Amino acid sequence: MSAPNSQERRTCWGARDQFWKCLDHNQDDVTACQGHKQEFELNCPAQWVKYFNKRRDFLKYKEKFENEGYKPAERVPKL
């Protein structure tokens, strides 16, 4: 597969943004955003979809970490 051209990239990014906006609005309920998800997967190369999904997970984790701070796990007593 050849690299997406400028218009294809813009279409992909727009579909991604709409899907992510839907997920944000619906508290990450993928079933409520199924149409946007299909559009995203249709308009983006599969490798990009995989990357963007991992990127969203990382950004959510980073936001949570910045807002709540580091909380170490409770220690388990040795037996």
Could you read off the pLDDT of 10-65 as tens digits, one per residue?
A: 999 999 999 999 999 999 999 999 999 999 999 999 999 999 999 999 999 999 98
Q: What is the distance of C-alpha 54 from the center of its chain?
A: 6
4's torsion region: left (phi>0), alpha (psi -120 to 50) or beta? Answer: beta
Q: Is residue 44 part of a domain?
A: yes
Q: Is residue 1 part of a domain?
A: no
Q: Is residue 76 part of a domain?
A: no
Q: Is residue 79 part of a domain?
A: no
Q: Is residue 50 part of a domain?
A: yes
- State the average pLDDT over residues 56-75: 88
- Measured CA to CA, the distance from residue 33 to residue 11 in angstroms comes to 18
Number of domains in the chain: 1
Residue 42 belongs to domain spanning: 7-66
- Measured CA to CA, the distance from residue 50 to residue 77 in angstroms comes to 40
Please answer whether residues 59 and 65 qualify as being in contact, where contact means their C-beta atoms are separated by less than 8 angstroms: no
Q: Is residue 19 part of a domain?
A: yes
Q: Is residue 78 part of a domain?
A: no
Q: pLDDT band for position 79 (50/70/90)?
A: low
Q: Note the pLDDT of residue 47.
A: 96
The one-letter code for the residue type at 24 is D
